[in-house]
Structure 1
């Protein structure tokens, strides 16, 4: 369906927009852009456990929408708020309480939200918001793994930790838990994570296997990618958009226009002048990346797309 055909169908309330990704994939940047569209109420990470301390704001100042909702009826918000805790991230389902909470967020009109805790939950989201636009936002696997191996928010005034992170990125076996991935990949939730990954043909190293930490990160990335690409298209059809963070940073106007078309709203210009070019990650040309990718289960097509010489340029 081209833009002209979409425009002819634009009627009624704008469709909800759901952005699904892994942590450190650019969701906050896309959310900040969508937040400029006053036709939407935009919720950043509605399933985060960090909303426990509302009505306090956070350092990123992403909670204005929650604070307004909370202050309207604090008792109701607290009774319905249902975060996705760490171990629940690898479940394919939303709990009944999480479904009720999501429906509560949708009560006030058109909503856009991003979530990094639903890697296998797109069919469950579809059962609640079948008419939404589903955006799968993904970062290049090398950049994704590098981000977890070198967290940008580490307290490191002298740069000592950053230097160590860079030197050991392709060799160290641990220390990648800035955003909880180590808990999933070899911590208390390993068995559930491993089972989910095995369902889509991905090998997660066992906790005792002596492999670099980035193997575990690539395994989680690949499983999340396959789940979202398959389930997104199957559940949402033409209203599913697969979007790399790198492409989004290169042409934000193009991609926001496509999202607006799918949501059946008139295109409106959003200011993306603050958006930076996407990083390629640590040592993107190193052969170890492709070796690790092959080990965890990237097929030839996926290897060619993400680890060929052209892909690293």
Structure 2
């Protein structure tokens, strides 16, 4: 079965019927406002992902019969919800097994990855602080680490959840931080951009990709999380390279606090206490939330 151009997720811009193939990446039983259970799925093709809901009297049975990371024929309706929001999901009428499909149609990867790689490494040439230059050079001249960073996703579900998503997200955060430096000239530009480059480096040890670019959170990621992993990686590198203590402390602080205040419950172990840490948190938050919002249009 060959997907028609209009049946790719990035082409969903109006309410209509649909019969097409999708990879199911998540499934969950939820309850509507009347406390009636339904199944919510995340559907994916090579152009993006979309939420889909199935209301049925056999909710648990349908949930049990659907396997995550398999391709299915989906029969249903694309609908704008809420009305007027220009955001779309799918109301599923039926799910059928797919016997024939091309897995390449469902592998998500970064768009124009070469351009993102070029931008990422060119921006590092603008940093003047010698300790930060030495740190970044040491990390990204490691061929294995460099390759992991280029290919890693930024998440399993929430944002930039595809091969190459980490470098795309990182570049967005860098770009936002550069603009903040133009507005707020007292910000330490070298510190902020170096921290932006490294803020999610722990994700290279958090997620695994299989041959079909399907993402799983590995045991290390589940037990330690990317914030701790990344802060620990950077601290060890700084100590090995005898990086200035103040530079090391600020960079580690910014990684540990880039999800905002501890009370938000988003994973930060300390509150952002310096201006650059606050700027990094908001740049990271904008990239994640705005990307998710635009992906849902």
TM value normalised by structure 1: 0.23
Higher relative contact order (CA 8 A, sep 6+): 1
Larger Rg: 2
TM value normalised by structure 2: 0.24
